[in-house]
Amino acid sequence: MKLLRVGPQGREKPAVLTPDGTLRDVSDLVDDWDGLALSDAVFSQLGQVDLTSFPELPAASRIGPCVANVGKFICIGLNYADHAAETGADVPAEPVVFFKATSAICGPNDNLEIPRRSQKTDWEVELGVVIGKAAKYVSEAEAMDHVAGYCVIHDVSERAFQLEGTGQWVKGKSCDTFGPIGPYLVTRDEVPDPQNLSMWLDVNGAPMQRGSSSTMIFSVAHIVSYLSQFMSLQPGDVISTGTPPGVGLSRNPPQYLKAGDVVTLGIEGLGQQRQLCVDA
């Protein structure tokens, strides 16, 4: 199933994209796509009802982030062998973990704000993993049972904020609108192999990133298990699992986003995003 949140910012309704391409309002079934609503039990119930019985939403409706009330927004850095190579970094011995502020989360087609004083706002298409069942000290073999599904994430980064000052990466990762999520959450039953998905990102129609989740250093199962050794993962937590090569920082010369640029990106089977860059 493809689960969405549709409507004006802060007033989104939970929805489902049906196989015929219509949006259906399922707010009579769930309050929102967050927390316990992302469980196998709810998904099973949804699979047994006639989705055409739910009200249809306008096709032109704004699409919000596909997960509401995200508790933790966890990111994995340098997780693609070909991306690590383009940056000149050594392949990490274990996952590189950092956080984005949840206030960075926005809809997949909302404007992308270039922060004040920014000179190096960069792009990163990433595979998002959404937790559906609490995970604590889970094994790699058990890890996938705790995944609700997958989504497209744009892990926008301001490289000077991230790398050239003091402190942690979080400053360059957490600006408002730096975490577009969606358009939809695709339940894990529809993604049998998350380690074999093609990924792409264009800026103003020019190809920038082309890659595949097959070059991830640490698999989704490994990441979920690894993180659960250090913190409990809760339903609705979102994990961004790293980016393939082609980021602006690594181009020769480096290339960064500016107001007026249009970024489009997507992942096989998970939909695509489009953002117009504007000054904050």
Q: Has residue 63 been placed in a domain?
A: no
Residues 153 and 79 in one domain: yes
CA-to-CA distance for 163 and 239, rounded, in angstroms?
21
Residues 111 and 239 in one domain: yes
Number of domains in the chain: 2
Mark which of 16, 33, 57 sits at the end of a domain.
57
CA-to-CA distance for 123 and 35, rounded, in angstroms?
28
**pLDDT, tens digit, for every residue of 77-118?**
989 988 777 877 778 899 999 999 999 999 999 999 999 999
Residues 22 and 128 in one domain: no
Residues 127 and 50 in one domain: no
Residues 29 and 125 in one domain: no
**pLDDT, tens digit, for every residue of 177-221?**
999 999 999 999 999 999 999 999 999 999 999 999 999 999 999
Residues 36 and 148 in one domain: no
Residue type, 14: P
Q: Has residue 67 been placed in a domain?
A: no
**pLDDT, tens digit, for every residue of 2-41?**
999 999 999 999 999 999 999 999 999 999 999 989 999 9
Q: Has residue 62 been placed in a domain?
A: no
Residue type, 212: S
Q: What percent of the chain has pLDDT over 70?
A: 100
- Here the CATH number for the domain that contains residue 104 is 3.90.850.10
pLDDT at 275: 98
Residues 17 and 129 in one domain: no
Sheet of strand 238-240, all strands in order from the earlier edge strand to the far edge: 56-57, 23-25, 13-17, 2-6, 185-187, 147-154, 125-131, 238-240, 73-77, 96-99
Residues 50 and 80 in one domain: no
Query: Residues 260, 64: contact at Cβ < 8 Å?
Result: no
* Global model pTM greater than 0.75: yes
Q: Which domain holds residue 173?
A: 73-279
